[in-house]
């Protein structure tokens, strides 16, 4: 598996989120930890303004652990989210490609054109 470059894994609960995650744009991976200690990512997401709050939405979900990385802008977070999505696509629960806020943003891994940017 490619190196994610993310911090963690951490336990997915409110206390841990508040003590480790800032309120900035960021990218996160949700999943679980295998016997032996390897983090298995199952979902990739991002927040355009507050990753701390976004992660809290996942507390008590089927995912028990998270990894994350904070970014200075939503666009930088989007770029990282795309890389993780493409690296892990085969094993993720994500059904769709990461969404852009701005049509000028480019996925670094595929030809993301307007026609594929639904919703």
Given the rule CB under 5 A, which residues bind Zn ion? 82, 107, 109-110
C-beta closer to Zn ion: residue 70 or 82: 82
Place of tokens 């679980």: 32
Which uninterrupted H or E stretch holds 87? helix 74-88
CB of 50 to Zn ion, least distance (A): 24
CB of 65 to Zn ion, least distance (A): 25
C-beta closer to Zn ion: residue 34 or 96: 96
Which DSSP symbol is given to 15? H
CB of 110 to Zn ion, least distance (A): 3
C-beta closer to Zn ion: residue 19 or 118: 118
CA 93 → CA 2, 44, 52, 96, distances in Å? 18, 8, 21, 9
């Amino acid at each position: 598996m490619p190196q994610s470059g993310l911090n963690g894994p951490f336990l997915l609960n409110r206390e841990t989120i508040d003590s480790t995650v800032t309120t900035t744009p960021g990218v996160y991976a949700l999943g679980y930890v295998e016997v032996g200690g390897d983090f298995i990512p199952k979902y990739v997401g991002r927040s355009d303004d507050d990753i701390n709050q976004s992660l809290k939405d996942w507390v008590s979900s089927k995912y028990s652990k998270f990894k994350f990385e904070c970014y200075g802008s939503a666009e930088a977070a989007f770029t990282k989210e795309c890389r993780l999505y493409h690296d892990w696509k085969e094993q993720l629960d994500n059904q769709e490609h990461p969404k852009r806020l701005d049509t000028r943003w480019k996925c670094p891994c595929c030809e993301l054109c307007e026609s594929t940017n639904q919703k």
